Amino acid sequence: MRHLLLTTALAVVLAACGATEGVAQSAAPAAPGGQPWETRPANVPSQTPAFPGQTRAPEVTANVAYGVEVVATGLERPWAIAFLPDGRMLVTEKPGRLRIVTPAGELSAPVAGLPEVDARGQGGLLDVVLDPDYAETKLIYWSYAEPLGEGTNTTAVARGQLVEDAAGARIEGVQVIFRQEPAMAATLHYGNRLVFDREGRLLIALGERSIMAGRVQSQDLNSALGKVVRINRDGSIPADNPFVGREGARPEIFASGVRNVQAAALHPKTGQLWEVEHGARGGDELNIIEAGKDYGWPTITYGMEYSGRQIGEGLTAKEGLEQPVYYWDPVIGPSGMIFYQGDLFPAWKDSLFIGALRDKHLVRLTLDGDRVVGEERLATEVNDRIREVDVGPDGAIYLATDNAEGRILKLVPKAN
């Protein structure tokens, strides 16, 4: 039944502007221990999860009928969405442009005043977030691949005031508040996502730049590669960061041993940071990030190298290293993540939504505390790489598609 529904959904083509039916599954939710959605063979069948339910959770549907509406078109590889107080969106485009998009889908001219980006490979203009006190400060924060000359670059985070007047929209008072060190001659695995914690400190989830010289620094506390860092809004270091005052450790580091973080969000009840990151061939991970913890890359991981060889010693667990809450093998290419707290879809409340770049759909995870107990795959009819997932002030779920002709879409309720 599930595959019949998916085949039907994939035959639906989105109109240039308008809506299409979503997958309205009528089957009863799968019981714990039921059949998982994922039935493809794992890349490394000999690897076993560290605890029940760590992968291939049972398919659990919420029986929600939804439509997919096209909000905006004409964006080049949109990467991130941030909603302004008036309902308009800030949207980053990978080549280095920031746009303001109205609820009706009108695109502004590129916002002036942003620094140059290195858009090669996986670089470019990446995440954007509003200051927690945006109404007073008008500050926005963004991350980007910063060119440094001689082929090197780094992940940088800057902030500035968004100004709009008769002359158009621009950023004034640009300040670079963080640079990942060391810089690398690489074009991959920048990560990243920006999240303000409940105290207003900025968490920056980073990649390890993919090349071996970067990968081996993921667990090195004297390097910011493969880390989650935490800074104050002005770039200074919080006094209670876990490695402040420790010799041989960078004080901005909050957690280590991550690979290529593609999304992060605060849990609405606990305030903990959850992140998703890309694995190699297998091993996409969902992690709960805690201060001072080491998440294992590359010492432990699920999956294998792209070449087919084992990664390191082929370990999936080791004392002192953290296990992912959940992992996917084969990979889905996760990117964009939100805990849904809107009122438009009551049946989806408290679900965790994650975009899938590789598998071109939206994943909904059912949680029981900090455990994944169900998985549902939605928006398969979109058939685009989903880069960003966000919730608008209207309670709709917004998606950005990672294409040369990128779009902003939204999921809305559909009458049964």
DSSP-derived 3-state class of residue 371:
strand
Q: Which residues have C-beta within 8 Å of that of residue 24, sequence separation ≥ 6?
A: 63, 64, 65, 66, 414, 416
The catalytically annotated residue of 3, 189, 267, 361 is 189
Sheet bearing 352-356, strands edge to edge: 334-339, 352-356, 361-368, 371-378
Q: Which residues have C-beta within 8 Å of that of residue 288, sequence separation ≥ 6?
A: 267, 272, 273, 274, 325, 370
DSSP-derived 3-state class of residue 88:
coil
Q: Which residues have C-beta within 8 Å of that of residue 404, sequence separation ≥ 6?
A: 76, 77
Cβ contact 286:326 at 8 Å: yes
State how far the Cα of 206 lies from the Cα of 387, in Å rounded to an integer: 16
Residue found by looking up tokens 């190298």 in the block: 305
The reply to whether 267 belongs to the active site is no
Phi-psi region of 212 (alpha: psi -120 to 50; beta: other; left: phi over 0): alpha
CA count, 13 A, side-chain hemisphere, 266: 15
State how far the Cα of 217 lies from the Cα of 206, in Å rounded to an integer: 12
- Identify the burial level of 306 via C-beta atoms within 10 angstroms of its C-beta, where 0-12 means exposed, 13-18 middle and 19 or more buried: exposed
Catalytic positions are: 189
